[in-house]
Structure 1
Amino acid sequence: MSKNKLFLALLAAGVLGATAFGFYTLGRQQAAPQASEIPSAAGAQAAGDKKVLYWHDPMVPAQKFDKPGKSPFMDMQLVPVYADGGDDDGKVSISPRVQQNLGIRTAEVVQGSLASALTAVGSVAYNERDVALVQARSNGFVEKLYIRAPLDTVKKGQVLAELYVPDWIAAQEEYLAVRRMQAGAMDGRTDGSMDAVLDGARQRMRLAGMSDEQIRLVTSSGKVHARISISAPANGVIAELAAREGMSVAMGAPLFRINGMDTVWINAEVPESAAAQVRPGDVVEARTPSLPGTIFKGKVGALLPQVSAATRTLVARMELANPGGRLLPGMFATVSFNPAAAKAVLLVPTEAIIQTGTRSVVMLAQGGGSLLPTDVETGAEANGQTEIRKGLEAGQKVVVSGQFLIDSEASLRGTSSRMGGSMGESATPGNDQASGKAPAKTHHGEGKVEKIGKGDITISHGPIPSLQWGAMTMGFKLPANGLPRNVEVGDSVIFDIQPVQGGMFQIASITPTVKPANAGAKP
């Protein structure tokens, strides 16, 4: 019997111990969550320490609200924007690990010069400054023609034609007659009057078109020379031939046009966008398929002040030496422009530039994962490098891959540097007319003025059915001509609004609500 009592006592002790252990364990499990609530509360308090700047709809970031609630644009709650949330100036923060996962690469803004890679195709033409025009100096007849076809090559001094000039005969005979009268004087003396007559006869030969050399020939030979030999004044090619044997010519009539071949022009088409890289005096090198391996060097003579409406190109005129006359008019030539050494400029990879159509933007890396959209002014471009004239400094880093994703994030935050215009414009109900020619639609509402700022007014308004808005407090842009003087904070007002660019709404008209005369009387 004592053994049974002992067994029962031990069993009871075991049950009590197990029960005590169970309550102990349960107590710890219940106590653990309570203990874990302490850091959570601290974290919540830390999150609560952040100052909320405003609430907004991420799809219409330009519209700001001073209270939380449902978005009037989308079926979603408004999102708070904190003072340290990176919204200012469009700054976007991305951790280095996420940047690595997105494949975001950066490059440094460096200082250097752009190597020219500009080439253009042109054609060879005569140098119009190296032209000799041969004309008839007197009325006459072409008796003999030695050059009978255009494009014949001539040398300087080569006889081109012989002309018979009747007007010369009378002038030469008069001159010779005066000389004979002077020589046949009985006393062998001249009284000076014959010298004057002789000079007059010599002048009449000059007026008839005779050169001094031809006059000396008449004087030395004492014979009449009624024919003249026309010689080439320079080496070149007969570009125009207007004389034929037997034809009569008048004084001043063109007979031959001779183009020199010592130098030629190459007229090359330069794209309008690259015209700034070409300047008069720049050294060029020309190559032509007809002379493989031969390089002709010259300089840019002029950039003609005319743009082709069809090809959007300008004509650059180069003057090149043509030894041996191997470059012929009409030949095609490839011209490489080698401008003088350019000054050092800021350069970034061309792929870092985001072209919006109206501006050029780069994503500037500021350290610590912060990225900032920055407007830049670009210049020349060559070999994958673009000149930056304004907006960056040497040593800064810009994003060269993944920048479109970052810029999209910046656009959702309503930054001033977002691309392609305002996103909120397309997401705003009733705003289709804002970008068109038709006037924007107005919407009517009633509410109370909560705050008046420099450029905006905050109103707690009731529902606006035309926009499917519920009652809320939100800000509007002030009217273009300002608020009426009788509108103050705390006034009940009726107002009309209309959409403007950026997803915002502007007060079109606003009027205080007139209070009844007995509004303040007690019943």
Structure 2
Amino acid sequence: MKRYLNILLLLLFVLTGVACQSDEAHEHAEGTTYTCPMHPQIVEDEPGTCPICGMDLVPQSVEGEAVVMTDDLAFLIQPTNETVISDVATVTPEQKTVEAAVKMEGIITYDERRVYSIPARVGGRIEKLYVKYNFQPVQKGQKLMEVYSPDLITAQKELLYLVNSAPEDKALIAAAKQRLQLLGATDAQINHLLRTGEASYTFAIYSPYDGYAIGLNTTAPSAIPSEIPVAAANTGGGMNGMGGGDAGSASKRRMPAAGDEIQLREGIYVSTGQPLLRVVNPNQLWAEFNIPAGEISSIAKGAPIQITFPQLPGEKLEAQVDFLQPFYEAGENFAKVRVYLPGEQKLARVGQLVSAEASYTTAPALWVPRTAVLDIGTKSVAFKQLNGVYKPVAVTVGTIEGNQVQVVEGLDQTDKIASNAQFLVDSESFVKLND
């Protein structure tokens, strides 16, 4: 009986030891992770194969142990598409300033300071018109039209009455003259009135400017004009000549709405303040150019600019930048650069398309050959030499001038890069960039 008890105790001891070893092995297995020898970024909790290359995964670490990743080991196991082995010549970025130029396209236009508007100083009817088409030459003092206005007739008769009945009342006579002047009468017309003693039923409107007539509407108006009651002038020529009297008996004449461009012709009625035509003096012209948004900071007022005319090969015009528009037009990514053309121009014509090139000096920056930077669509790449191989790095480029390109970010002056980035890329490889 004692022998059987000893055997039972021995079996119980053996079973307890086996269970402890099994639990220890299970705990040991749970702390193990597995990785690919060629792709260390692949880490799994259990054995298997690499989803990239298909190799069997190996234990990476055990509780209390870790794989030491040295620089040499990291270089050996890195993916093959991250570096390129080549014997292409290298260059280093150069810190310097460069004389650059910006090419622009633009158009010749009027100097807005020399565009004059001639409004109707008094309401009335155009009896005689001497300017009948756009771009008709106009000289200062030239008669533009003759207008019949009851207000002018009334003002003339008031002045004649004061001169004849109260010649000693200088203040009233001066006020009557001033009223005529405010209605558009010139000093010569007022002196002629006082000399003859007869009121004129039509007054001439003269041009105060030299240039060309523009803004005449030579087509029939498309909008329905407003109807303004205009009474027929009575023989007395009083103040009621234009708008007085019974509105019900007044004949309705069609007049353009305020602000509309009128078809200027004889017999139409105009209202006070209505613009009749514009006069443009082309002796001074502008050239307006569109410049890309990224280049606007490079150009300053006074920068030299050379204007060329596509229609006249070989003709060039030297000028300077006079104005930079401080805002962008809606929907456009261009700024405006304005240039005043010097003197009277025989080459430039309003509406003519021209090209220009503005010169400037860049700020100190790193410059590399243009072939050393590769544009891959979404970003630009340069190949930096590290440990005998070339590694692609993303760079930010700025101004491109000739065969040089400005590197704003991504390189240092001590870096060595491939002089020709195209030689390090072929149709069967993909260059991986680390952001």
What is the correspondence of 1:431-470 to structure 2 with a 5 Å cutoff? Answer: none
Assess, with a 3 A threshold, how the Cα gap between structure 1 residues 207 and 159 changes in structure 2: closer, same or farther.
closer
Equivalent residue number for residue 279 of structure 2 = 258
Equivalent residue number for residue 42 of structure 2 = 63
What is the correspondence of 1:173-212 to structure 2 with a 5 Å cutoff? Answer: 173-183=157-167, 194-210=169-185
Q: Is the 8 A contact 1:307 1:313 kept in 2?
A: no
3-state SS of 1:173 partner = helix
Assess, with a 3 A threshold, how the Cα gap between structure 1 residues 279 and 68 changes in structure 2: closer, same or farther.
farther
Aligned residue pair count:
338
CA deviation vs aligned residue, 1:92-118 (integer Å, no higher than 9, x gap)? 99xxxx96xx34121220123344343
CA deviation vs aligned residue, 1:267-305 (integer Å, no higher than 9, x gap)? 445456655555665433222244443323342634561
Q: Is the 8 A contact 2:425 2:431 kept in 1?
A: no
Equivalent residue number for residue 355 of structure 2 = 334
Q: 2:211 aligns with which of 236, 239, 245?
A: 236
RMSD: 4.1
Equivalent residue number for residue 23 of structure 1 = none
Equivalent residue number for residue 382 of structure 2 = 362
Q: CA deviation at 1:399?
A: 1.8
Assess, with a 3 A threshold, how the Cα gap between structure 1 residues 70 and 150 changes in structure 2: closer, same or farther.
closer
Equivalent residue number for residue 25 of structure 1 = none
What is the correspondence of 1:306-317 to structure 2 with a 5 Å cutoff? Answer: 306=329, 316-317=337-338
Q: Is the 8 A contact 2:100 2:361 kept in 1?
A: no
3-state SS of 2:361 partner = coil
User: How many angstroms apart in 2 are the aligned matches of 1:321 and 1:110?
Assistant: 39
Q: CA deviation at 1:345?
A: 1.6
1:301 aligns with 2:288: no
Identity of aligned residues (%): 27
Q: 2:72 aligns with which of 70, 75, 85?
A: 85
Q: Structure 2: where are the runs of 5+ without partners?
A: 1-33, 59-66, 217-262
3-state SS of 2:141 partner = coil
Query: Which structure has the higher relative contact order (CA within 8 Å, separation 6+)?
Result: 2
Equivalent residue number for residue 286 of structure 1 = 307
Structure whose CA Rg is larger: 1
Equivalent residue number for residue 266 of structure 2 = 245
Q: Is the 8 A contact 1:352 1:403 kept in 2?
A: no
What is the correspondence of 1:100-249 to structure 2 with a 5 Å cutoff? Answer: 102-183=86-167, 194-210=169-185, 214-215=189-190, 218=193, 224-241=199-216, 242-249=263-270
3-state SS of 1:118 partner = strand
Q: What is the TM-score when the length of structure 2 is the normalising length?
A: 0.63
User: How many angstroms apart in 2 are the aligned matches of 1:115 and 1:86?
Assistant: 48
Residue identity matched to 1:349: P
Q: Structure 1: where are the runs of 5+ without partners?
A: 1-53, 184-189, 412-416, 420-523
User: How many angstroms apart in 2 are the aligned matches of 1:164 and 1:210?
Assistant: 13
User: How many angstroms apart in 2 are the aligned matches of 1:334 and 1:153?
Assistant: 29
Q: Is the 8 A contact 1:117 1:383 kept in 2?
A: no
3-state SS of 1:167 partner = helix
3-state SS of 2:272 partner = coil
Q: CA deviation at 1:259?
A: 1.9
Residue identity matched to 2:409: K
User: How many angstroms apart in 1 are the aligned matches of 2:266 and 2:35?
Assistant: 98
User: How many angstroms apart in 2 are the aligned matches of 1:86 and 1:227?
Assistant: 104
User: How many angstroms apart in 2 are the aligned matches of 1:213 and 1:78?
Assistant: 108
Equivalent residue number for residue 55 of structure 2 = 76
Equivalent residue number for residue 418 of structure 1 = 434
Q: CA deviation at 1:383?
A: 1.6
